[in-house]
Amino acid sequence: MSKDNFETSAIRTQIEHTQFLENSSPLYLTSGFVFENAEEMRASFTEEKERNIYSRFTNPNTSEFVDKVCKMEGAEDGFAFATGMAAIFSSLAALLNSGDHIVSARSVFGSTHVLFTNYFPKWNITTSYFNVNEPDTIESLITPKTKILFAESPTNPAVDVLDLELLGKIANKHNLILVVDNCFATPYLQQPIKFGADLVVHSATKLMDGQGRVLGGITVGRKDLIREIYLFSRNTGPSLSPFNAWLLSKSLETLVVRVDKHCENALKVAEFLENHENVNWVKYPFLKSHPQYQVAKKQMKKGGNIVAFEVKGGIEAGRSFLNSIKLCSLSANLGDTKTIVTHPASTTHSKLSEEDRLEVGISDGLVRVSVGLEDVSDVINDLNQALQ
């Protein structure tokens, strides 16, 4: 899909006009929809007639959001969820049976890791993990019970990059369903389906909303798999609210211009940090020093908005860096207009042992910066004074 088509899809994918011929889609805050008569109601429930029944199943605003993301990702179909975690949990729960096995990258979003290690085993679903820097070990983990290959790229918070083409080949060879969490890249920078992903999941909370306002999630991909996910979700209730869908669909109209600017600012921040005397190393997919720079160049349009770096002096230096920040926000979110800094070792990942943290690429001095849309010189000045 050319960039022109991509932007046009992001702006022009729209539900039918009402009789008022509005230019911007209205908000359909309604829990249910009415039927003309008993026959229409019967035909709707048997799916002989395709239409909205109840907003736990479908709603015009969620349909617009789903159609749009499908076009942007090159996907056949999709379903929208209340959060990114609802998308991940419901999609996998819909497809997996007791006894099934997942092979996953070890560096995945924290709650995804908790889902795989603490909750799925309750239903006899187990997970084996591979180190993102040792993809040649993936095949040795696959068993006859393996059904899902799960990964995210770039990873959170260490900004490692996985070769999606390689994952696609492995999944195809072993007949696995490849699920890619594409949250950090957005469909603008990377389209995993092109590389063989069967399903793409997103936390729409991040760059899709882009302004730190609402939670949302979405899964798009193969029609037969989405059908299973739809039936599971329509009965279990993790659906996205029409209001959030309406807002997210509007946000996608500006995704390209926002993400372009995020990437431009992030690259400047990364280059600044790379030359700073109090920084050990910097990881950003489009820095030549990134270990997977070539892979990033192959599969991503730009480097994204997340920069990871290691401040000299370990956990204490990381904590004092955070305490010295003046402009940037200390917050758990990312992908906001506002630049956000976090220090995983003393906060989100403080319960892990140092050894377990290092396994997922979190050293004691690691700082994650979600670069926002402020004047980048103000962001750089803030990071600089905090590093002194």
Ligand X SMILES: *Cc1c(COP(=O)(O)O)cnc(C)c1O
Out of 59, 205, 244, 370, the only residue in the binding site for ligand X (CB under 6 A) is 205
Instruction: Report if residue 336 touches ligand X, rule: CB under 6 A.
Output: no
Out of 28, 65, 89, 109, the only residue in the binding site for ligand X (CB under 6 A) is 109
How far apart are CB 215 and ligand X at their closest, in Å?
A: 5
Element housing 342 (H / E)? strand 340-342
Q: Is residue 96 a contact partner of residue 125, using CB atoms and an 8 Å limit?
A: yes
Instruction: Report if residue 181 touches ligand X, rule: CB under 6 A.
Output: yes
Instruction: Report if residue 364 touches ligand X, rule: CB under 6 A.
Output: no
Nearer to ligand X, 344 or 386 (CB): 344
Helix (H, G, I), strand (E, B) or coil at 41: helix
CA dist., res. 253 & res. 4, Å (int)? 13
Nearer to ligand X, 59 or 153 (CB): 153
Out of 58, 153, 156, 249, the only residue in the binding site for ligand X (CB under 6 A) is 156
How far apart are CB 24 and ligand X at their closest, in Å?
A: 25
Handedness of CA 81, 87, 90, 91 (dihedral sign): positive
Q: Taking Cα atoms as reference points, which of 63, 52, 54, 61 lies closest to residue 31?
A: 54
Q: Is residue 339 a contact partner of residue 327, using CB atoms and an 8 Å limit?
A: yes
Q: How far is CA 270 from CA 153, 282, 289, 329, in A?
A: 18, 7, 11, 18
Out of 25, 55, 83, 191, the only residue in the binding site for ligand X (CB under 6 A) is 83
Out of 95, 115, 159, 183, the only residue in the binding site for ligand X (CB under 6 A) is 183
If binding means CB under 6 A, how many residues of this protein chain bind ligand X?
A: 14
When CB distances to ligand X are compared, the closest residue is 84
Out of 85, 170, 245, 282, the only residue in the binding site for ligand X (CB under 6 A) is 85
| Tokens at 21, concatenated | 């011929």
Instruction: Report if residue 217 touches ligand X, rule: CB under 6 A.
Output: yes
- Beta strands 217-221; 77-81: pairing state: antiparallel
How far apart are CB 33 and ligand X at their closest, in Å?
A: 27
Q: What is the 3-state secondary structure (H, E, C) of 126-188?
A: EEEEECCCCHHHHHHHCCCCEEEEEEECCCCCCCCCCCHHHHHHHHHHCCCEEEEECCCCHHH
Instruction: Report if residue 79 touches ligand X, rule: CB under 6 A.
Output: no
Binding segment (CB under 6 A) for ligand X, from list 54-62, 80-88, 316-324, 379-387: 80-88
The site for ligand X (CB under 6 A) is made up of 83-85, 109, 152, 156, 181, 183-184, 203, 205-206, 215, 217
